[in-house]
A and B are shown apart, each in its own frame.
Chain A
Amino acid sequence: MKGLKYLLVLLCLLFLSGCWDQNPLKDSSLAMASSSDLRSDGKLLYAASFPRSTQGGKGGSQQQIVEIVSATANTPREAQMKIDSKISGTFDSSKLRVLLIGEALAKQDINLFLDVLYRNPKTALSARPAVVEGMAIDLINLKLIGGEEISKYLINSMQSLQDLTIVNHENIESIFAKMLDPGQDFLIPYIKLDKNKSRASVKGLAMFHGNKYSGKHLTVDQSIMYHLMENEKGKMARFTKKVISSPRPSMNNYITVNVKKMKRKLKVEVKKSGEINAHIHLNLKMDVIEYPHNRLASKEEIPKLNEMLSKELTKEAKTVIKKIQEANCDGLGIGRRIIAFYPNRWKKLNWEVDYPKIQIIPSVHVEIISHGITD
């Protein structure tokens, strides 16, 4: 009899196992991208894209359909619940890849609407946040060629831009630490829809101050320079600069260089008077990848170019510094260094106010070390 009892329990285990707490993949709707916007009445407009595949039968000829569902609510969780009632399966954000934030919403405290993600242990922390010019919902509704899913499109394009040092690898996990850190701010990609609304392109980096978008962004070239100053380089970092001023053809006047090796020195010093100076020195070893003028074989040409490029790039760096200070975005983490090395000075500082006033002096030294297989 005793054996029978055990057998019954085992059988129950076999047929009922996990019935109550399983979370089957087939019953869930995976949101791969989400967009959040602030409506004029202060409510949240939330949308998510769900890639679905229709059963193509044998041979794996499955077709991908993307379903985009939106809802208006007070909070993201409420919006998710509303969306949940509109879709088949349960809303699941554990595979979220892109988090699009509308410009208006980003200017508010973004931690408020990210809270739902940080609370859930299943959240995909590798999801990339991005600020969208105008309304983010326009971007998520974008109809792409071949029915490509928007998250795939954006992630792929961001990855290629990361190789070009334009975009950093900031995700919602890494920005969380920076959000809480008073001595550091973050920048996330700034995406703009094209005029005819068929493509989206990354226009640079949106500068955040604390949890809020400052409303200003760096351009693509400035983003590269910013990353170099932050000591982060992708596979390539290219600049196209005007070095000759002969009238025509204008293409002849430009040089494109790629950073091969780099060294950055960031030195923050607090003077006795309390004045804070930050020196950023960049030593870039460059490879010429385009130079139609083509006189690189001559001995005078390269030092001349080195000097010109150093000057141009220092100018560029200064613009970047000016911009991030204007935006009050401490993307280089200078505050962090003061906390670490000059804690007493930090206590007296009001970083919010003082950061834009400090002196950040960049200097770029360029050295051309190679120029491809032609002269």
Chain B
Amino acid sequence: MVLFKKRKKKNNLLKKTDQTQVEGPLIFSDMNDNLTYIKNHLNHTADLKIQTIRNGDFETAIVFIETLVDKELIQDKIIDPLFQLKSFKDREDIATVINLETISCSNLSQAVNDLINGNTLLFVSTRAYAFSVNTQKFGNRSITEPSSEKVVRGAHDGFIESLGVNIQLIRKRILNPNLTVKYFSVGKETKTKVALLYMNQLANTYLITEIERRIDSISTDFIMPSSYLEELIEDSSFSPFPQMLNTERPDRTMANLLEGRVVLLVDNTPTALILPVTFFSFYQSPDDYNSRFFLGTFFRIVRLLSFSLAVGLPSLYIAIIAFHYEVLPDQLILPVKSSVENIPFPPLLEALIMLITIELIQEAGIRLPTTIGQTIGIVGGLVIGDAVVSAGLISNTMLVVVAITAISSFVVPSTEMSGSMRIIRFPFMLAAATMGFIGIVFCFMVILIHLCKLESFGTPYFAPLTPLRITDFKDSILRLPIWKLNNRPLDPHPQQLKQQSNSRDWGKDDEK
């Protein structure tokens, strides 16, 4: 059944491409007419190569775009066999000689299209059809560990810019016929290939139809990186929180697929989009599962703590210094007071200056080569940090607060979430400077209401906290031992909730 379905889908795909190419002239029987048509259609582009071979009783023309093809392959698998072919009677002759994926086509527009895709066209004199041979070759980056998602233990491969390779990396991990791929072509001009991956009997069917519906409605000239796609299909674009998980790690992608989530891959992008996701998925890292569960749980809790630190610490400091210093313990108040005593700025401005400086250092550092990047780190971090205090512009305590804030915002394993934390902190600071603790509470309320209301493709974003489902804490806020996680999380509404029965049955046998 599953196999059948899959095949059917592939057929659909083929039909689709056929249908789009129905318009256009048929192949002429005169070979030169065909060649002129192609040249005109490709605007006499310089990398179009045409090679004619006269051999025996027939003449062939090999047409390809040299920047897209594997020339060695053409030489070995097309030209050499052709020379050995002495006579040409019908299509089968060519097909047997050429050991590559070969389609014969009769439509010139389609032929041109194949050419653009990196195929080689083979025209035979006086025949009104052509062969399209798959000779694509793209220079691919080697599979390396993604620099933004490094792990200590575990697989060190990452997605690259080729869709085929990326799907292969996933298929390699899930040897299951249920893993289904659906292709879409998005972008009127670029026709970028987008792949939708899911586990057939696991992922929610409503979810898949919804995603298909949303992708189908995209009408744009081009989508560049996957973030275009993300913005075009996500629920709330104006939310500061990302509603899809970006990852470059195949292992993370695989784990999410098996939780019943859906993966979107865009050609030429090394990032997989995972959806639907919850707030807490951004605080999970493959490292949690690679280490012992005590550590995994501990780090998860530390990361969640880092959220409140990164968002709340500067505002808390502002509120204390500007409004409620009576909450400071007796022993702390004098050191803090003496450090802020001679600062010319109000606390809000002081915090803003420092936080914006940190953002500047970070922005400057990202785009610089690593050798200069270090200089930025030293100048920015050490020189500014030290000088700003000794000049009496910023207080020591403020510097500590800003440093802790900056560090905590980098703890999150996902860069988008860390970005949104950096943004959210500013309204918090403003509110703290206007109303003190009450302002912070207001801001937290607004954020909490927003998180509770937010949905990612129909699943609650703040699950398992709202709606509360304590059993799902096991693998969201905590990371219990693997054998405790018998059920998948409920938030993507998988078709089967159970993911394992007792894996440690051997323990019982030993007792007997």
Bound: A314/B430 CA distance, A = 65
- 1/0 per residue, CB under 8 A from A, across B302-321: the answer is 00000000000000000011
Query: Quick one: given A25-B337, A26-B341, A51-B334, are A18 and B321 in contact (CB under 8 Å)?
Result: no
- 1/0 per residue, CB under 8 A from B, across A15-38: the answer is 001100011111010101000000
Name the residue in A14, A26, A64, A95 with the highest tally of chain B Cβ atoms < 10 Å from its Cβ.
A26
B436: chain A residues at CB < 8 Å are 18
The distance from the CB of A163 to the nearest CB of chain B, in whole angstroms, is 18
Closest to B352 in A: A14
Does chain A have a CB within 8 A of B336? yes
The distance from the CB of A197 to the nearest CB of chain B, in whole angstroms, is 26
Does chain A have a CB within 8 A of B340? yes
The distance from the CB of B221 to the nearest CB of chain A, in whole angstroms, is 28
- 1/0 per residue, CB under 8 A from A, across B92-112: the answer is 000000000000000000000
Report, as a range, how many residues of chain A touch the other chain. 20 to 34
- Asked if residues A23 and B322 are in contact (CB atoms below 8 Å), the reply is yes
Does chain A have a CB within 8 A of B330? yes
* Interface-facing stretch out of A52-60, A71-79, A168-176: A52-60
* Interface-facing stretch out of B61-69, B342-350, B411-419: B342-350
Closest to A59 in B: B390
Query: Quick one: given A18-B322, A23-B322, are A53 and B430 in contact (CB under 8 Å)?
Result: no
Query: Quick one: given A51-B334, A53-B334, A122-B326, are A26 and B434 in contact (CB under 8 Å)?
Result: no
Does chain B have a CB within 8 A of A370? no
B337: chain A residues at CB < 8 Å are 25-26, 30, 53
Majority-rule SS of B interface residues: helix
Name the residue in A22, A62, A155 with the highest tally of chain B Cβ atoms < 10 Å from its Cβ.
A22
B430: chain A residues at CB < 8 Å are 13-14, 17
Bound: A58/B337 CA distance, A = 16
Does chain A have a CB within 8 A of B323? yes
Does chain A have a CB within 8 A of B338? yes
- 1/0 per residue, CB under 8 A from A, across B385-411: the answer is 000011010001000000000000000
A25: chain B residues at CB < 8 Å are 320-322, 325, 336-337, 340
| Contacting residue for A26 out of B320, B330, B340, CB 8 A | B340
| Contacting residue for B338 out of A53, A94, A95, A97, CB 8 A | A53
| Contacting residue for B330 out of A14, A57, A62, A97, CB 8 A | A97
B272: chain A residues at CB < 8 Å are none
B435: chain A residues at CB < 8 Å are 18
- Asked if residues A26 and B343 are in contact (CB atoms below 8 Å), the reply is yes
Does chain A have a CB within 8 A of B262? no
- Asked if residues B346 and A95 are in contact (CB atoms below 8 Å), the reply is no
| Contacting residue for B323 out of A13, A22, A58, CB 8 A | A22
Bound: A25/B341 CA distance, A = 8
Does chain A have a CB within 8 A of B447? no
- Asked if residues A94 and B325 are in contact (CB atoms below 8 Å), the reply is yes
Bound: A124/B326 CA distance, A = 8
Report, as a range, how many residues of chain B touch the other chain. 20 to 34
The distance from the CB of B412 to the nearest CB of chain A, in whole angstroms, is 27
- Asked if residues B341 and A53 are in contact (CB atoms below 8 Å), the reply is yes
- 1/0 per residue, CB under 8 A from A, across B271-285: the answer is 000000000000000
Query: Quick one: given A22-B433, A26-B340, A58-B390, are A95 and B326 in contact (CB under 8 Å)?
Result: yes
Closest to A63 in B: B338
Does chain A have a CB within 8 A of B53? no
A18: chain B residues at CB < 8 Å are 322-323, 346, 348, 433-436
Bound: A13/B348 CA distance, A = 11
B396: chain A residues at CB < 8 Å are 60
| Contacting residue for A22 out of B326, B338, B346, CB 8 A | B346
- Asked if residues A24 and B347 are in contact (CB atoms below 8 Å), the reply is yes
The distance from the CB of A96 to the nearest CB of chain B, in whole angstroms, is 10
- Asked if residues B323 and A95 are in contact (CB atoms below 8 Å), the reply is no
A60: chain B residues at CB < 8 Å are 396
The distance from the CB of A344 to the nearest CB of chain B, in whole angstroms, is 45
B338: chain A residues at CB < 8 Å are 53, 55, 62
Does chain A have a CB within 8 A of B333? yes
Closest to A57 in B: B390
Give residues 175-227 of A contacting B (CB, 8 Å). Answer: none
Query: Quick one: given A23-B322, A25-B322, are A95 and B433 in contact (CB under 8 Å)?
Result: no
The distance from the CB of B162 to the nearest CB of chain A, in whole angstroms, is 43
B334: chain A residues at CB < 8 Å are 30, 51, 53, 64
- 1/0 per residue, CB under 8 A from A, across B433-469: the answer is 1111000000000000000000000000000000000
Bound: A32/B336 CA distance, A = 15
Task: Please name the 6 residue pairs, one residue from A and one from B, whose CB atoms are nearest each other, closest first.
Answer: A53-B338, A94-B326, A17-B434, A25-B325, A17-B433, A22-B322
**What would 29 A/B residue contacts be, using CB atoms closer than 8 Å?**
A14-B348, A17-B434, A18-B346, A18-B433, A22-B323, A22-B346, A22-B433, A23-B322, A23-B323, A24-B322, A24-B346, A25-B322, A25-B337, A25-B340, A26-B321, A26-B342, A26-B343, A30-B337, A51-B334, A53-B337, A55-B341, A55-B392, A58-B390, A94-B325, A95-B325, A95-B330, A97-B330, A122-B326, A155-B330
Residues of B whose CB lies within 8 Å of any CB of A are 320-323, 325-326, 328, 330, 333-334, 336-338, 340-343, 346-348, 389-390, 392, 396, 430, 433-436
